[in-house]
Amino acid sequence: MSQASTAMIEESKLPRNMRRVVTPEGVPLHMTLATVAARAVAFSVDMCVILAMLIGVMIIAALAASIGEVKEWSTIIATLSLFLLRNFYFTFFELRWRGQTPGKRMAKLRVVDARGGALGPGAILVRNLTREIELFLPIVILLAPDQFWPGAPYAAQFIAASWSLLLLAMPFLNRDRLRIGDLMAGTMVMAQPKVYLYEDVGRIDAGWNQRPRHFSFSSEQLDMYGVYELQVLENFLRQHPTVFAMEAVAEKITIKIDWQDESWRAEPRWFLQDFYEALRNRREQRMLFGDVQQTKKEGTLHRANEQDQARQ
């Protein structure tokens, strides 16, 4: 049976609100879809934040307008602020907070790549640029059709209203609850899993403690991965994977951390176990100082070092 067929069978056995996503490291993850109610709460919170920002801008503009010399500039600044908040609020926060806005963070939701890869800036930009035509514009058409198309015949207003309802209802018309922006960008909104560390795998499988640590890793190498990837690796090791699966995952890690020694190929199991223990110790150590790195860094260690040198 092919891997695609196996994946489809496993997908069919999952609960209705669960999805199976395979990461670039080849590790399957089971994630929970965000509910419509949770997404509505997140959006409502974000709209309240936007409204509060707009009120603040309008107050500042009104105060500035009382000064004759800056009256014209205050109108321009207020108009520009309205445009930026309406069109780039979601993009700014999702870029800065890796798929979260203040509303999504409060509702414990996160935008993820539907293929399991890293959430890129292009995908975030695409999913949010469509928000104007699939959300804000339909709301205006439904609530104030005369302002959108004054003097239009009733038939045209009915067609526009029907099209607007279709755009608004899109998340209810597909099993993954995707907006048009999600379909175009290849993203999904998932419930963010709780971040915590399980019992050490080494304490469960005593056989893995029969040998001293053979592979050592630097702090820079370990900091390429966060708590989320630690949990993924831990779940992977608990499943007693095949040698081929361990080789595939180990190879992805060596590329990520710029590991040059090829001796790991003779014992990928010990390489993964040593990396897991070292990463766990590193993350627990950093947690004591309040540094909770939840996810991995972008790119590879080699590229990250080149970027640091370029900045210097």
Query: What are the residues whose beta carbons fall under 8 Å from the beta carbon of 197, sequence distance 6 or more?
Result: 227, 230, 231, 280, 283, 284
Length of the chain: 312
Q: What is the pLDDT of residue 206?
A: 46
Closest CA to 283 of 203, 204, 223: 223
Tell me the per-residue pLDDT of 266-280, one tens digit each, with 9 for 90 and over: 888 889 988 988 888
Burial class (CB in 10 A: 0-12, 13-18, 19+), 223: buried
What residues does 18 pair with on adjacent strands?
32
User: Are 214 and 274 spatial neighbours (Cβ–Cβ below 8 Å)?
Assistant: yes
Average pLDDT (77-100) is 86
Task: Indicate if the pLDDT at residue 91 is higher than 90.
Answer: yes
- Structural tokens at position 99: 């798929």
3-state secondary structure of 96: helix
Report phi then psi at 29, rounded to 5.
-120, 145
Q: What is the pLDDT of residue 26?
A: 56
- Structural tokens at position 218: 């630097």
- Structural tokens at position 91: 């993009």
Query: What are the residues whose beta carbons fall under 8 Å from the beta carbon of 82, sequence distance 6 or more?
Result: 54, 57
Tell me the per-residue pLDDT of 43-70, one tens digit each, with 9 for 90 and over: 999 999 999 998 888 887 777 767 656 6
User: Are 202 and 269 spatial neighbours (Cβ–Cβ below 8 Å)?
Assistant: no
Task: Indicate if the pLDDT at residue 250 is higher than 80.
Answer: yes
Domain chopping of the chain, boundaries: 3-32, 36-191, 201-305
Tell me the pLDDT band of 3, cut-offs 50, 70 and 90: very low
Query: What are the residues whose beta carbons fall under 8 Å from the beta carbon of 15, sequence distance 6 or more?
Result: none
Cα 229 to Cα 121, 129, 184, distances in angstroms: 21, 30, 27
* DSSP summary character for residue 29: E
User: Are 20 and 10 spatial neighbours (Cβ–Cβ below 8 Å)?
Assistant: yes
User: Are 169 and 107 spatial neighbours (Cβ–Cβ below 8 Å)?
Assistant: no
Tell me the per-residue pLDDT of 145-196, one tens digit each, with 9 for 90 and over: 666 667 777 777 778 778 778 887 888 888 888 888 898 998 989 887 654 4
Cα 192 to Cα 38, 89, 125, 218, 266, distances in angstroms: 11, 21, 21, 29, 37
Closest CA to 114 of 174, 191, 186: 186
User: Are 197 and 280 spatial neighbours (Cβ–Cβ below 8 Å)?
Assistant: yes
The more confidently predicted of residues 102 and 171 is 102
Closest CA to 282 of 227, 236, 235, 205: 227
Longest dimension (CA), the chain: 82
Tell me the pLDDT band of 101, cut-offs 50, 70 and 90: very high
d(CA 259, CA 127): 36
Mean pLDDT lowest among 10-24, 77-91, 99-113, 217-231: 10-24
